[in-house]
Amino acid sequence: MANAIEVENLVLEYGKNTALNGISFSVPEGTVLGVLGPNGAGKTTAVRILATLLKATSGSARVHGIDVGDNPNEVRNTIGLTGQFAAVDEYLTGYENLEMVGRLFGLKKAEAKTRADQLLARFDLEYARDRTAKQYSGGMRRRLDIAASLIGRPKVVFLDEPTTGLDPRSRMAMWDFISDLVKDGTTILLTTQYLEEADRLADRIIVLDKGSIIAEGTADQLKAQVGGERLEFVLTDASQKDRALEILTPIGLDAPSYDAQTRRLGMPVSGGADDLTTALVALKEADIHVVDVGLRRPNLDDVFLTLTGRAAEDEQAVEEEK
Ligand SMILES: Nc1ncnc2c1ncn2[C@@H]1O[C@H](COP(=O)(O)OP(=O)(O)O)[C@@H](O)[C@H]1O
Ligand SMILES: [Mg+2]
């Protein structure tokens, strides 16, 4: 499979601050690469270089074999860009925004209109077609932003933190839209701070920390490193331990562990909340009482803790502490 994106030894220095410290990766055509990292890791910097908005200090990047530094205009014709720098006009309606982008993209008037309506339908925004973008919610605006980036039917799309700040329902809706894009064969580079999001959408993940790649692999490989999902129960009565272990064993991926001191039972699972419900119902039927219950999913912090021995640093938080 040919690579849609190839990055070699990319370095970006802002004065004496190194935003990218020589990263290399490639993204095969039609696949999704998740770039996972906390604030300040260098995600947007990498995207901006690939999208030809920023020149690398050294190293090279190619999109469909075309060097972003040497031939930025050619690259721009094949990509769709969304995120922190997207240009949705607040005072135009959703429809007008898309029509305008279509015209800017060189579509004929009739074509731009048709395309605008197609994209509004595709992103469930038909009902808000004639409202100004100013009246859109955060989730609707992100969808409009992505719709605008797809006007030119790009083969490669960059999504820079598409769900940061969205409520859970809008986040799930966004995941569905992104999955549809993937089905069309679009190559996607998606940056995110959420392991769950990368897990859901990405074929491969690179973990970025302070401008360097500190891990890469599939979501399963990363999760295996950090230990996956776990169910935990604290028994009310320690004498019910054996019976509880017997009931829980078939639900877990592995035999449950038990800590006598805390009366805590824990086991790895793969079914999330469904497994939690199954386990609770089974325990209740057996009249086994618990004082505490929890479902733990590994997140970016767990990944960082495992990989670096320290928590993911939020650069903004660090700044604020100063
Ligand atoms: N315009 C800029 N001038 C100076 N430093 C910058 C600029 N933009 C980003 N940086 C720095 O580069 C690093 C990477 O930033 P960025 O790529 O925005 O990270 P992310 O998108 O992962 O949050 C950070 O240390 C950030 O402070
Ligand atoms: Mg960013």
Q: What is the mean pLDDT of residues 23-33?
A: 97
Q: What is the pLDDT of residue 286?
A: 95
Tell how far the Cα of 177 is from the centroid of ligand 2, in angstroms: 21
Mutation test residue for ligand 1: of 10, 35, 43, 45, the one with most atoms within 8 Å of CB: 45
Tell how far the Cα of 168 is from the centroid of ligand 2, in angstroms: 20
Tell how far the Cα of 44 is from the centroid of ligand 2, in angstroms: 4
Q: What is the mean pLDDT of residues 217-238?
A: 86
Q: What is the pLDDT of residue 313?
A: 63
Ligand with minimal distance to 40 CA: 1
> What stretches of 246-312 adopt beta strand conformation (E)?
257-259, 264-269, 290-296
Tell how far the Cα of 64 is from the centroid of ligand 2, in angstroms: 24
Q: What is the pLDDT of residue 306?
A: 76
The pLDDT tens digits for 232-261 are 999 999 999 999 999 999 998 888 889 999
Our CA dihedral for 277, 282, 286, 290, rounded to 10 degrees, sits at -30
Local confidence band at 161 (pLDDT 50, 70, 90 cut-offs): very high
State whether the beta carbon of 192 lies less than 6 angstroms from ligand 1: no
The pLDDT tens digits for 64-104 are 999 999 999 899 888 877 654 457 889 999 999 999 988 88
> Tokens for 249?
């064993």
> Who surrounds ion ligand 2 at CB < 5 A?
43-44
> What stretches of 221-289 adopt beta strand conformation (E)?
229-235, 257-259, 264-269
Q: What is the pLDDT of residue 318?
A: 47
Q: What is the pLDDT of residue 320?
A: 45
Per-residue pLDDT for 322 more than 50?
Answer: no
The pLDDT tens digits for 297-308 are 777 777 777 777
Q: What is the pLDDT of residue 31?
A: 96
Q: What is the pLDDT of residue 314?
A: 59
Q: Residue 137 — φ and ψ, nearest 5°?
A: -75, 170
The pLDDT tens digits for 275-304 are 999 999 999 999 999 999 999 877 777 777
Q: What is the pLDDT of residue 191?
A: 96
Q: What is the pLDDT of residue 167?
A: 87
* Secondary structure (DSSP) of 93-148: BHHHHHHHHHHHTT--HHHHHHHHHHHHHHTT-GGGTTSBGGGS-HHHHHHHHHHH
Q: How far is CA 145 from the centre of its chain?
A: 16
Atom 8 of ligand 1: nearest residue by CA position: 45
Higher-scoring residue by pLDDT: 25, 154? 25
Ligand with minimal distance to 48 CA: 1
* Secondary structure (DSSP) of 183-224: HTT-EEEEEES-HHHHHHH-SEEEEEETTEEEEEE-HHHHHH
What is the distance between the alpha carbons of residues 205 and 211, in angstroms, rounded to a whole number? Answer: 15
Ligand with minimal distance to 42 CA: 1
The pLDDT tens digits for 189-219 are 999 999 889 989 999 999 999 999 999 999 8
Local confidence band at 111 (pLDDT 50, 70, 90 cut-offs): very high
Integer Rg of the chain from CA: 23
The pLDDT tens digits for 162-185 are 998 888 888 898 899 899 888 989
The closest-lying atom of ligand 1 relative to the alpha carbon of residue 46 is: 17
